[in-house]
Every structure is written in structure tokens, then in C-alpha cells.
Amino acid sequence: MKIHEYQAIEIFQKEGVPVIDGHIASESGEAAGIAKKIGYPVVLKAQVLAGGRGKAGGIKFVEKQEDLEKTFRQLQELKIKEYGIEKILVARAVDIKEEFYVGIAVDNLRNSVVLIASSSGGIDIEATARENPGAIRKFYLNKDKSIDKTRWLEFICPVFKDSSHQQTVTAIFQGLIRIFFDNDCSLVEINPLVIDGQGEIFAADAKINFDDNALFRHEDIYKMRDLTFEDPDEREAEGYGLSFVKLDGNVGCIVNGAGLAMGTMDMIQLTGGQPANFLDVGGSSDPEKVLNAIKIILKNKNVKVILINIFGGITRCDDIAKGILEAKKQLDISAPLIVRLAGTNEGEGQELLTQNGIRTFSTMREAVSQAVRLGRES
């Protein structure tokens, strides 16, 4: 789950990370009041859960009161990656002398949490990592999450030259570490961390992502969820207890188990096709889930064929077949159904489907080839 900059700023403040004075506004009158309190010039920052906001025109400077309303309205009319803008952060405009990147992320290859610092802040950090990896410094915590002092100085000093800045940044990192672990984050990032004309340091942007699987133990965080930025089909699937991720291809997939679902998508790709989604109906054997899965997949207009790949363990193939037949009864399914059932009660399942004119395949390879072929032909 992602949260907005203004929400992340509140969390930063609680942990002593220096942020820029600002407040959130939904209309221009409100913004004018905030700007008056803060003092001009101010920056208006569109609150969207999408990257590259600055480049998309989502950040605007306002020098004086007369310009505020017009600029605010311009920003309200802007769309960033198809998203409209409802909330705008009004913040004091800082005179920025230097921009840095600091953050904490999960390093999947090292199976560890990594602290990152770079003097090339502000811009696209992924591009810097590709083109100039030397400009990005990394630090790994000790096993007990403590900091090794010698290694710490080697990490921080090449990026922040001034010793008072080194102290401030160390305190900032300590705050970020607390935020990261206390909230089960997957990313905490300040880009840019800025130094102004007086040599003061502030977080000029704030980004926090959370591990969805740990949200159940962070009610306060979960409350910040903004559904307007989430895919409506993915949200609906979540309500049905299905793990669903939308993709770009035309082969709709319904599979039981995340591993088999990934394997199915790999095989589709290797056979020359493209999956339209990841969908795991789970290990249960509920016909209703199959019905809902087909419902969700049919909403995607790119889907030309539906591939159902089930390996029955706890899941019983005849229950899956019942779900498919129920879906055929209730829904207008124009895409062909390609079904492979193997495992518990496969005979019963296959018979139910065959009786109703749905052909089944006994191997995954055959089913995938057929689905990819139909996807290509349509």
C-alpha cells in the first residue's frame, strides 16, 4: 500500500525527521488561507500516488497571493497518469541549494534491508542506479538492526561533506529506520532531501510504501488507504478473496495456488502468448470463487480466451467444474474456455464439463498451447 506525501510527512514529523511547513487543501480558498499563514512564495504539490509528478507538471511555484487561485485551479485540472487531482499540498517554497536522495528499501538479492544515500537527488533515482551506480551508496544494518559506526561514516561522509550535516542526516536515518521497522514498510524514501541557503536540511518529498501482508496489524496505517488510486477490478477481487493482478495480455488466467499461477503465466509467455492477469483462486474449493473469478476476468476487454488451470489437492476438481457451469449459466461468456483439471476428483470434474459441452485438457502444456493459439487468432 502507498500513502500520499502529506500523510508520509505526518509520520516523518512524529519521528523527528525535519519537513517543510505545509498543509493539505482541497479548494483554493483553503489554500489561500494556508499560504497566508506560511508566507509567500509557496509551492503547490499535487497529491497523487504515481511517480514522476514533478515532470508531469504536478508541482507549481506561486510567488504572490494574486497568482494562487489561478495556479491552484490549473493544478486541479491536471491529470497525472489518468488520475485526477483532489488534494494539493501547500508548502513553504524552500530556496534549494543541494538535492540528495536518502531511503530505506528491501534488497531482495541480499535478503536484507538496505539504506541508500546519494548526492544525485531530486531526479529519477532508478536512472542514476543504471547509468551511474557509483553515485549511489548503500549500507546494511547489523543483524540486530544496529549501526556499525565505522562502516556508517564510510557510508555517509562521501555524500554529506559537512560534519553538522552528517549528524543531522544520521538522526534522520535513525528516524527512517524506526518508521521502516515499526510499520512493516517496504520503502521509506526522501527524494529530494534538500539543503537550503542557510545550510538547513529538510525532507522536500516523502514516500512510504507498506507491506500489504502486514497491514492487518497496522489499523492506523490502513485507514490512510486511498482507493481512488487503486485498480477497481483488483479491489473487487480482493473483496472476493482472490489474489488478482491485472496485466497487458489477452489470455485470462484462473489458477489455484500462486506458484502454479506464476508457472502458468511463464508457460504462456514461453509459448508466445501474453497473460491478461495473475489470478489465484486459493486452495479452497468454493464454486462461488470460480464464478467471481470469471466475472472479474470478463471485465477486461482485452481478454480473448480464458484459461483455467487447476491442480486439485484440497481443491476438488468437481467443485471447480460446478463453478464453471454456474458461471456459464449466469454470465454471458463470449470468450472460449480452456480447462485443464488434474488431481482430486478430476474424473468427476471432467465429466461434468464434457456433459455440458466444455472440452477439458489433461496436461497444462496442451491447455496453454490451445489458449495461446486462440488468443493469437482472435
Positions 55 through 84 that interact with ligand GDP (CB under 6 A): 59
What whole-number distance in Å separates Cα of residue 65 and Cα of residue 221?
A: 35
Q: How far is the CB of 291 from ligand GDP (least distance, A)?
A: 41
What residue type is assigned to position 322 of the chain?
K
CB closest to ligand GDP, residue no: 54
Instruction: Draw the binding track, 208-247, toward ligand GDP (x: CB under 6 A; -: no contact).
Output: ----------------------------------------
- Asked whether 135 and 118 are in contact (CB, 8 A), the reply is yes
Q: How far is the CB of 205 from Mn ion (least distance, A)?
A: 4
C-alpha cell, 136? 549511489
Instruction: Draw the binding track, 83-122, toward Mn ion (x: CB under 5 A; -: no contact).
Output: ----------------------------------------
Q: Which of 22, 103, 175, 192 binds ligand GDP (CB under 6 A)?
A: 192
Q: How far is the CB of 90 from ligand GDP (least distance, A)?
A: 11
Which lies closer to Mn ion via its Cβ, residue 205 or residue 280?
205
Residues β-bridged to residue 312: 343
Task: Answer yes or no: 189 catalytic.
Answer: yes
Sign, CA dihedral 137-142-146-147, equals: negative
Q: How far is the CB of 356 from ligand GDP (least distance, A)?
A: 53
Instruction: Draw the binding track, 81-100, toward ligand GDP (x: CB under 6 A; -: no contact).
Output: ------------xx-x--x-
What whole-number distance in Å separates Cα of residue 104 and Cα of residue 92?
A: 26
Indicate whether 204 belongs to the interface with ligand GDP (CB under 6 A).
yes
Crossing angle for the helix pair 163-182 and 5-14, to the nearest 10 degrees: 110
Note the helical H segments in the chain: 5-14, 28-38, 65-77, 125-131, 149-156, 163-182, 219-222, 232-239, 258-270, 287-298, 317-330, 346-355, 364-377
Closest CA to 338 of 356, 364, 317, 319: 364
What whole-number distance in Å separates Cα of residue 372 and Cα of residue 368?
A: 6
Task: Answer yes or no: 222 catalytic.
Answer: no
Q: How far is the CB of 50 from ligand GDP (least distance, A)?
A: 8
Q: Which one of 189, 200, 230, 377 is the catalytic residue? A: 189
Instruction: Draw the binding track, 174-213, toward Mn ion (x: CB under 5 A; -: no contact).
Output: -----------------x-------------x--------
185-196 and 96-107 strand pairing: antiparallel
Closest CA to 322 of 308, 304, 305: 308
Q: Which residues bind Mn ion (CB under 5 A)?
A: 191, 205
Query: Site residues (CB under 6 A) for ligand GDP?
Result: 43, 45, 52-54, 59, 93-94, 96, 99, 122, 191-192, 204-205
Residues identified as active-site? 101, 189
